[in-house]
Amino acid sequence: MNSNASVSAASVYRLKDRLIVSPDKRTTAGLVVASEPFVVLPLEATNDDLGSTLMKALALSKTPMSHPVDWKAIAASRLAAAILRWAIGQVRCM
């Protein structure tokens, strides 16, 4: 029996003005990688909002992903998601 089959993991990154939540998925090679979707929340997010976002990320983390070939693309997508999604949220708030 594969003991990793039921393991869930997620990350919460705290930046100076926001939180970023993402599922941590195991690759086919066995590494754990932060993956999409990257959800941006304000620092003032309620416990309910953060908890519900974490639960969704944990559920998504159970699905394995192909082992990345281009690590720069993985990092770029995480950075782009954080910057773009936050910028869109700021525009909507105005």
Is 11:22 a contact under the CB 8 Å cutoff? yes
CA dist., res. 81 & res. 64, Å (int): 20
Instruction: Provide the domain limits for residue 27.
Output: 10-93
pLDDT at 64: 86
Residue type, 91: V
75 has a pLDDT exceeding 70 = yes
5 within some domain:
no
Alpha-carbon span 90 to 6, nearest angstrom: 37
Domain count within the chain: 1
pLDDT at position 76 = 78
**pLDDT band per the 50, 70, 90 thresholds, residue 21:** very high
Task: Give pLDDT tens digits for 41-72.
Answer: 999 999 999 999 999 999 999 988 888 888 88
